Amino acid sequence: MTNITYRLPQEIKLNGTFPGEHSQQLAQRRADAVPAGVASTAPIYAQDADGGVILDVDGNSFVDLGSGIAVTSVGASAPRVVKAIQEASEHFTHTCFMVTPYEGYIAVAEKLNELTPGNFPKRSVLFNSGAEAVENAVKIARAATGRNAIIVFDHAYHGRTNLTMALTAKATPYKKGFGPFAPEIYRVPMSYPYRDGEELTGTQAAQRAIDIIEKQVGAEYIAAVLIEPIQGEGGFIVPAEGFLSNIAQWAKSKDIVFIADEVQAGFCRTGRWFASEYEGIEPDLITTAKGIAGGMPLSAVTGRAELFEKVQPGGLGGTYGGNPVACASALATIETMQEWNLNERALRIEQLIRQKLEPLVPELPILGQVRGRGAMMALEFVLDTNSQEPHPQAARDIASYCLERGVLILTCGTYGNVVRLLPPLTIPENLLEQALDILVEGIRSI
Ligand code: PMP
């Protein structure tokens, strides 16, 4: 494994009160300036971050097991990325690709066309956020098919804009009070092996969804099936084997565009460039964001060239989409992923997490399941293994326990009962192990 050198000490360091004095002062200023609608997981304010640590404004050093929600896979200040951002911004910060285009945008599109699954002619178009990419994938699919309906799944998360709120499953906090929502969105059951039971195979779960789609919507009205190959915010749900491939095959047979939302799972997070690869899926369109650009806002829709042909010139774009500094950052991020072999690291992280946590499942009735792929791993908490009733308080208490001891951990899930582990792929092994030991203590303390 490549040796990575770090700028900041890779350690947990806590200086007493939590949160510290400077974080408390910022919290007070924030309360008077920022609405409570924007919530934060941790009451600590960041000052610096590198590799597997985040330093706060009081000089505390926390292990980062969240990567800013799966973004800083290469670390929050990877040297190649920092240098690329500096160099690009010395030349121009913006011209707008729709006005005066530039090479960086084209180079990112070429990389995406090369790295995404499927050996067919592709095109890529760049945007700023995951939600914007998903919205545009829907636009492209509708233009290409001349149809309206979009199929989405239980537990799905696709963003917070009006269309993506409609595509997202969970009402609170994402949708409550924000309607009316976009029409022509139809939701069907996901494959959720832990809750479906072992007896429901991926093929059967796919058939369950297809039956509903055919009866309630009608294939001839459907523009696209949109799915996260591993669901993120919904609880890191890995569908049963065969689920994705059966849905994709059925979509193909009906000329329905299959869109994989890889915003969270893509770019080495799961130990492959894209999570779709685990099921041999070649999506017609793929949405990417988060890990793509080392923390700079960039997102993309990549897919079959012919699908883009029906979109009129000027139909896609946006002032900032494919910003030149973000593009330089993306190219450096991809090079870093290749140079440091971050897919291999993601798989090693999975191994370490499974080794520490799986033995607890038969022992502790509140730990229902350890699941995920690569460095996208989750623990689902339940009141007891028999009832499988969700235990969101356990997830919250464990996250607080860890944070107070210097480990930043995120929760997720439709029921809020999932602890998710998304470390930067550059985290040193010994630091990850130390953080996992604290997590294990936290679980045992419940
Ligand atoms: N799709 C998926 C699968 C996501 O996980 C997210 C963000 N959590 C989004 C879309 C939306 O991305 P953004 O927050 O950048 O709009």
φ, ψ of residue 114 to 5 degrees: the values are -80, -40
Q: What CATH number did the domain enclosing 263 receive?
A: 3.40.640.10
| Cα–ligand 1 centroid distance for 232 (angstroms) | 9
For residue range 283-292, list pLDDT tens digits in order: 999 999 999 9
Same domain, 333 and 377: no
Show which of 290, 309, 339 is a domain's final residue.
339
Same domain, 369 and 314: no
- Name the residue of 165, 237, 264 to mutate for ligand 1: max ligand atoms within 8 A of Cβ: 264
pLDDT at 3: 85
For residue range 45-94, list pLDDT tens digits in order: 999 999 999 999 999 999 999 999 999 999 999 999 999 999 999 999 99
Q: In this structure, which residue's CA is closest to atom 10 in ligand 1?
A: 158
Q: Which two tokens stand for residue 220?
A: 């001839």
Show which of 323, 339, 355 is a domain's final residue.
339
Q: In this structure, which residue's CA is closest to atom 12 in ligand 1?
A: 130
| Cα–ligand 1 centroid distance for 25 (angstroms) | 31
Same domain, 317 and 424: no
Show which of 289, 313, 339 is a domain's final residue.
339
| Cα–ligand 1 centroid distance for 437 (angstroms) | 30
Q: What CATH number did the domain enclosing 434 receive?
A: 3.90.1150.10
Q: Which of 15, 73, 20 is nearest to 374 (CA)?
A: 73
Ligand 1 proximity of 289 Cβ (cutoff 6 Å)? yes
User: What residues make up the domain containing 311?
Assistant: 81-339
Same domain, 135 and 272: yes
Ligand 1 proximity of 157 Cβ (cutoff 6 Å)? yes
Is 402 inside a domain boundary?
A: yes
Same domain, 145 and 278: yes
| Cα–ligand 1 centroid distance for 136 (angstroms) | 13
Give kind and range of the element (H or E) at residue 27.
helix 21-33
Is 175 inside a domain boundary?
A: yes
Q: Which two tokens stand for residue 399?
A: 């996250």
Same domain, 367 and 310: no
Is 418 inside a domain boundary?
A: yes
Distance in angstroms (rounded) separating the CA atoms of residues 394 and 399: 9
pLDDT at 169: 98
Residue ranges in the chain modelled with pLDDT below 70: none
pLDDT at 198: 80
Domain count, the chain: 2
Is 13 inside a domain boundary?
A: no
Same domain, 49 and 141: no
Q: Which of 299, 319, 312 is nearest to 134 (CA)?
A: 299
Is 251 inside a domain boundary?
A: yes
Is 375 inside a domain boundary?
A: yes
pLDDT at 197: 86
Same domain, 60 and 96: no
| Cα–ligand 1 centroid distance for 175 (angstroms) | 15
pLDDT at 372: 98
β pairing state of 53-56 and 46-50: antiparallel
Q: Which residues contact 430 (CB under 8 A, 6 or more apart)?
A: none
Distance in angstroms (rounded) separating the CA atoms of residues 140 and 285: 9
Same domain, 39 and 136: no
